[in-house]
Amino acid sequence: MTDNTVPAAPRADFPRATVLGYPRIGRRRELKRALESYWAGTTTADDLERTSRDLRLTTVRRLVDLGLDPGTGAVPNSFSLYDQVLDVTATLGAVPARFRPGREERPVAPAGTERGTGKHLAEPPSEVSTETYFALARGTAEQPPLELTKWFDTNYHYLVPEIGPDTPIRFADDRIVREFAEAADPSDGGTPVVTRPVIVGPVTYLLLSKPEDGAPEGFSPLRRLDDVVAAYRELLAALAAAGAPWVQLDEPALVSDLIGAPFDATPGSTDGPGRPDTTTVSDAVRRAYAALTAPSPGTDRPQILVAAPFGELRRASGDRLALLAGTDVEAIALDLVRGATPPTEGTAAWNVPGLASKTLVAGVIDGHNIWRADLTSRLDLLESLRRTTGARTVTVGTSTSLLHVPHDVDDEPRLDPALAGWLAFADQKVGEVVTLARGLDAGRPEVQEQLDAATAARTGRAGAAGVVVPEVRERLAGLTDADFTRAPYTDRAAAQRTRLSLPPLPTTTIGSFPQTTEIRTARAAWTRGDLTDADYEARIRQEVASVVALQEELGLDVLVHGEPERNDMVQYFAERLAGFTTTVNGWVQSYGSRCVRPPILWGDVSRPEPITVPWATYAASLTDKPVKGMLTGPVTILAWSFVRDDQPLADTANQVALALRDEVTDLEGAGIGIVQVDEAALRELLPLDAAAQPAYLDWSVRSFRLTTSGAAPATQIHTHLCYSEFGDIVGAIDDLDADVTSVEAARSRMEIVPGLASAGYARGIGPGVWDIHSPRVPSGGEVSDLLKLAVAEIDPRLVWVNPDCGLKTRGYDETRASLANLVAAAREVRGSL
C-alpha cells in the first residue's frame, strides 16, 4: 500500500458490511471551528487543510476500529469541507458566470502542484480554488451565494447548482482522488485504508440544479447530462488509476416525486415547442449509467454502487429498482427503513430482471433516526432478502448516510443511562451493521449475545416509565371530531373584529426580535450556572420591556414579546415538555459549519406547567395594544426532533398538539387574544413519494387543528409558514383553518398571492413585505409597492402587513429602520383603500 504504483482495481466483491456515509463535522465540531477561524482570517488555508485531513484520517480509522474492513472499500469517504453537492460543482468546475468575472486573468495552477500527492495524479489540476469554493457557499461583496435548500426530507441543506447551456463542465478538480490516495497511502505512517469515495450521482446532481440566470426559457439542466457524465467518466478513471475498488454514487432523486421532472414519459407526450424538455428521470438514469459503465480501451473504472436513500424504489407506479438493475452497475443500495418492502412479498421471489448480477446493499439500519435497532427482526429480513430477491448477493448497510445522526452515544454524559441504552448514534450504528453482517455470514449463534442485548434494550424501552402514560393515551382516545373543529370562520371573524378593533392592513411581526450578543451571553452564563435563575429572568424581562417599547414607538398594531428567552423555537419547547430529552454533544450538520442538536422525543408527551404564559402576559401588561402569544406547532416540533419509532407519527403529533392546546387555553385564560402557532416545517415533512402525501397532509393538518380548535371564536389564531413554494400544499394550508396565515413573499414579489386567492383561500393573509434573510433595509416605497400588489389580488380586508419571518438573526439598526418603513407604507396604502 505504500507503493505508489497501485495496480488496476481488482474486481473485488462488495464488502459484507458498510455505512453509506458518516458525520463529517467532527466529534467536537472540529471542522466547524476550523472553517469559522479560516473565514475570520485567524487561520490559514493550510491550517484548514491540515485540520480537515486529520479529521478524515481519524474518521476512516475510527470506522475500521468499529469493524469495517480496511482493504475493500467498506469505509466510505463522505467528507466535505462544506457540502457534497457543492463538491460536485467544484469537481466539474461548474462555476456560474456570476462568480467568474475576471476568469481569463486567473492563472490555472499547474498540474500536481496543489497539496501534494501529484505522483500518480498528475492530471487534472484543481481549477476551483478554496476561495472560489467558499465564495459559492457564502457569497462575496458583489454576489449572493448559491441558494441553500433542504436535502430531500432531512434537515440538511445543500447549495443549489446553477447550470446553463454554457456553464463550463469538465473534470476540473481531483480532490476526491487526492482524498482516496491520502487514506490509502497516509503520509503520517498510520494504518492505510482503502476507502469508497461517496459522490452525488450525475442524475441527482442535475435534477437538483436550477437553470443559471440568463438561460433560455424552458432550459433544463438535465440537458447537460452528457457533459456531466463525460466528466464523471474521467473522475472514475482517475479513481481506478489510484486503486479505488468501489465508488458510491448517491441518487436519492430516484425515490422522489418532488423533483422537477417526470419519472417516466406520459404516454402520448411529444417533444414540441410548448414542452421543450421531455427528458425523464428514467431516460436520464439509463443514459447516464450506460455511459458510465461502457468499457473504454486502456482505462479502468471502480465498480459502482448506486445508493437510493430516503424512500422506496419499488413503486406500484413503476419499478425504479428494475431500472437500476437494467444498467451495468455492480451494486445497488436500498433504503429498507423508509422503503418498506410490501409484506405480501415476504416470501415471494422479487423477479427483477438484471438483479441476478448485482449486489444488493440492504439498508436495514436507520441512518436517519437514533434508536437502537431490533437486530433480530433485521436479521430475519436480511435472511429473507437472500432467499427472495434473486440478487447475486445481499450485504448489510445503513438506509441513508449517517450524516443525519450525531457521532456517539458514549459522548453523552448527562443522558439517563437507561435512555442511553435505547439509542444508537453513528458509531453504534456501525456496530449494528457489523454485527448483522457477521450473523448473516457466520450464523446466528455467532451474534446471539448481541441480538439478545438489542432485544432486551427494546423490551426495557417499551416498559419504561414515561414511554406509555395512561392519562395521555386516554385523552387521545377520547378525542372526537369536535376537538378538531372551530366555529365557522365568518362567526369568528365577526367576534374578533369586535374584540380587537384593528385598523385595515394591520401591522405585526412574526415573533422574534434580534437576539443580541448580550442575550446569548446571559443565556450561556445561566446554562453554565454562572447566572442565577432570578438574574437571568430579570435580564429577559428587561429585554421584553424594551422590545414592547420599541414596537409602541414604531406604531405597530399587534405586538409580540420578542422571544428573547428562546434558544431555538423547537428546543425551547422540548426542554419544557415531558417525553423529550436533549443532548450535550448530539450535533448534526444543518449546512456548512452550522449544526443543530435535535431533541429526542422518547415518551408520551405532556406539559407539566405553562411555558410561554408568563412572558406573554408580562408583555401584555406593558401595553394597551394586543399582544400575540407565540407557539411552535406540533409538526415543526416533530420535524426538528428525533421522533420515537414505536407508534405512528400521527399519534405522536397529536400528543404534542394536546400539550400545546393546553398552552393556548392558558394564554387565552390570561387574556391573550391572539395566538400564533408556527408551522415552519409543514412543507418539509411532505413525503417524497406522491402516494404517501395525502395521508401525511391529513394527520399534519389535524394535529394543527387539534392544537388550535379549543380557542374561543373571539381568539384569533395565526400561523406562520416560512417559505413561498407551497403550490403542492395550498389546499392543506386552507384546511389548517387559521384566522391569519403569514408567509414568505417579498423575494418572489408576492408571487404566491394570486395562487392562494384562486385556490379559494379567504381568511387573513400576511404576505411578507420585508426579506429578512438579508441585512438590507427595504424602503417605504418598496414596501408599499408590494402591498399594492397584494391588495390588487385579494380583498384588502384580509391583508396583514408583516416581515417574511422572525427577526432573531437581524440587528437592531436595520430592524428599527425596516419596521418604520413597513408601518409608514401600511399607513400610506390604508389611505388609498
Footprint of ligand GLN (CB under 6 A): 510-512, 563, 569, 630, 678, 680, 720, 722, 805-806, 808
Residue 150 marked ligand-binding: yes
With H, G, I as helix, E, B as strand and everything else as coil, classify residue 446.
Answer: helix
Name the segment binding Zn ion (CB under 5 A); options: 462-470, 615-623, 715-723, 810-818.
715-723
**Sign of the Cα pseudo-torsion (376, 377, 379, 383, in order):** positive
Place of cell 416509565: 465
Residue 510 marked ligand-binding: yes
Least Cβ distance, residue 808 to ligand GLN (angstroms): 5
CB-nearer residue toward ligand GLN: 628 or 661: 628
Binding of residue 323 to Zn ion (CB under 5 A): no
Least Cβ distance, residue 560 to ligand GLN (angstroms): 8
Residue 432 marked ligand-binding: no
Residue 243 marked ligand-binding: no
Parallel/antiparallel/unpaired status of strands 600-606 and 578-581: antiparallel
Q: How far apart are CA 680 and CA 684, in angstroms?
A: 8
Residue 722 marked ligand-binding: yes
CB-nearer residue toward Zn ion: 215 or 769: 769
Residue nearest to ligand GLN (CB): 806
Of residues 77, 38, 34, 39, the one with CA closest to residue 52: 34
Least Cβ distance, residue 686 to ligand GLN (angstroms): 17
With H, G, I as helix, E, B as strand and everything else as coil, classify residue 239.
Answer: helix
Residue 640 marked ligand-binding: yes
Residue 684 marked ligand-binding: yes
Cβ partners under 8 Å of residue 27, min gap 6? 407, 408, 411, 585
Residue 682 marked ligand-binding: no
Three-class HEC string of 272-309 = CCCCCCCCCHHHHHHHHHHHHHCCECCECCCEEEEEEC
Name which of Zn ion, ligand GLN, none residue 511 binds, using a CB cut-off of 5 to 8 Å depending on partner kind.
Answer: ligand GLN
Q: Restricting to residues 103-162, which ones interact with Zn ion according to CB under 5 A? A: none
Query: Could you check whether the bond before residue 110 is cis, i.e. omega within 30 degrees of 0?
Result: no
Name which of Zn ion, ligand GLN, none residue 808 binds, using a CB cut-off of 5 to 8 Å depending on partner kind.
Answer: ligand GLN
Name which of Zn ion, ligand GLN, none residue 637 binds, using a CB cut-off of 5 to 8 Å depending on partner kind.
Answer: none
Eight-state DSSP code of residue 5: S
Q: What is the pattern of x (binds Zn ion, CB under 5 A) and - over residues 671-710?
A: ----------------------------------------
Least Cβ distance, residue 830 to ligand GLN (angstroms): 24
Q: How far apart are CA 610 and CA 619, in angstroms?
A: 16
CB-nearer residue toward ligand GLN: 34 or 722: 722
Query: In 13-166, which ranges are continuous DSSP H helix?
Result: 30-40, 45-65, 84-91, 130-138
Of residues 260, 161, 250, 254, the one with CA closest to residue 209: 161
Vertex 789, ends 784 and 794: CA angle to 5°? Answer: 120
Least Cβ distance, residue 681 to ligand GLN (angstroms): 9
Binding of residue 177 to Zn ion (CB under 5 A): no
Q: Is 407 a catalytic residue?
A: no
Least Cβ distance, residue 550 to ligand GLN (angstroms): 15
Cβ partners under 8 Å of residue 258, min gap 6? 686, 688, 728
Q: How far apart are CA 248 and CA 306, in angstroms?
A: 6
Place of cell 428567552: 565
Name which of Zn ion, ligand GLN, none residue 512 binds, using a CB cut-off of 5 to 8 Å depending on partner kind.
Answer: ligand GLN
Q: What are phi and psi of 471, to 5 degrees?
A: -60, -40
Binding of residue 772 to Zn ion (CB under 5 A): no
Q: Which helix (H) or strand (E) holds 319?
A: strand 318-319
Q: How far apart are CA 145 and CA 98, in angstroms?
A: 10
With H, G, I as helix, E, B as strand and everything else as coil, classify residue 607.
Answer: coil
Q: How far apart are CA 547 and CA 552, in angstroms?
A: 9
Residue 595 marked ligand-binding: yes
CB 657 within 8 A of CB 664: no
Neighbours of 734 (CB within 10 A): 17
Taking the CA atoms of the chain, what radius of gyration do you get in angstroms?
Answer: 28
Residue 449 marked ligand-binding: no
CB-nearer residue toward ligand GLN: 59 or 636: 636
Residue 788 marked ligand-binding: no
The residues facing 318 across adjacent strands are 315
Least Cβ distance, residue 805 to ligand GLN (angstroms): 5
Name which of Zn ion, ligand GLN, none residue 716 binds, using a CB cut-off of 5 to 8 Å depending on partner kind.
Answer: none
Name the segment binding Zn ion (CB under 5 A); options: 363-371, 419-427, 706-714, 719-727.
719-727
Name which of Zn ion, ligand GLN, none residue 739 binds, using a CB cut-off of 5 to 8 Å depending on partner kind.
Answer: none
Q: Which helix (H) or strand (E) holds 630?
A: strand 628-632
With H, G, I as helix, E, B as strand and everything else as coil, classify residue 581.
Answer: strand
Question: What would the grid cell of residue 2 be?
Answer: 505504500
Name which of Zn ion, ligand GLN, none residue 76 binds, using a CB cut-off of 5 to 8 Å depending on partner kind.
Answer: none
Residue 30 marked ligand-binding: yes
CB-nearer residue toward ligand GLN: 57 or 677: 677
Eight-state DSSP code of residue 259: S
Could you tell me the CA-to-CA distances from 302 to 14, 84, 145, 180, 228 in Å, in that order? 11, 20, 34, 12, 18
Q: How far apart are CA 388 and CA 622, in angstroms?
A: 69
Name which of Zn ion, ligand GLN, none residue 569 binds, using a CB cut-off of 5 to 8 Å depending on partner kind.
Answer: ligand GLN
Catalytic residue from among 120, 404, 718, 773 = 773
Q: Which of 805, 807, 825, 826 binds Zn ion (CB under 5 A)?
A: 805
CB-nearer residue toward Zn ion: 674 or 722: 722
780 burial level (CB within 10 Å; 0-12, 13-18, 19+)? middle
Residue nearest to Zn ion (CB): 722
Name the segment binding Zn ion (CB under 5 A); options: 194-202, 227-235, 633-641, 716-724.
716-724
Residue 615 marked ligand-binding: no
Least Cβ distance, residue 721 to ligand GLN (angstroms): 8
CB 723 within 8 A of CB 683: yes
Q: How far apart are CA 536 and CA 728, in angstroms?
A: 44
Least Cβ distance, residue 94 to ligand GLN (angstroms): 31
Three-class HEC string of 722-741 = CCCCCHHHHHHHHHCCCCEE
Name which of ligand GLN, Zn ion, none residue 385 binds, using a CB cut-off of 5 to 8 Å depending on partner kind.
Answer: none
CB-nearer residue toward ligand GLN: 333 or 680: 680
CB-nearer residue toward ligand GLN: 279 or 617: 617
Q: How far apart are CA 378 and CA 398, in angstroms?
A: 11
Of residues 619, 613, 591, the one with CA closest to residue 509: 619
Least Cβ distance, residue 586 to ligand GLN (angstroms): 21
Q: Which of 722, 819, 824, 826 binds Zn ion (CB under 5 A)?
A: 722
Name which of Zn ion, ligand GLN, none residue 379 binds, using a CB cut-off of 5 to 8 Å depending on partner kind.
Answer: none
CB-nearer residue toward Zn ion: 91 or 741: 741
Three-class HEC string of 473-498 = HHHHHCCCHHHHCCCCHHHHHHHHHH
Q: How far apart are CA 24 and CA 228, in angstroms?
A: 26
CB-nearer residue toward Zn ion: 169 or 556: 556
CB-nearer residue toward ligand GLN: 510 or 825: 510
Least Cβ distance, residue 112 to Zn ion (angstroms): 48
Residue 31 marked ligand-binding: yes
Residue 29 marked ligand-binding: yes
Name which of ligand GLN, Zn ion, none residue 74 binds, using a CB cut-off of 5 to 8 Å depending on partner kind.
Answer: none
Where along the sequence are the contacts to Zn ion (CB under 5 A)? 722, 805
- Binding region for L-methionine: 510-512, 563, 678
Show binding-site residues for L-homocysteine. Answer: 510-512, 563, 678
Which residue ranges are tagged as binding site?
29-32, 150, 510-512, 563, 594-595, 640, 678, 684, 720, 722, 744, 805
Residues with active-site annotation? 773
Binding site for Zn(2+), residues? 720, 722, 744, 805
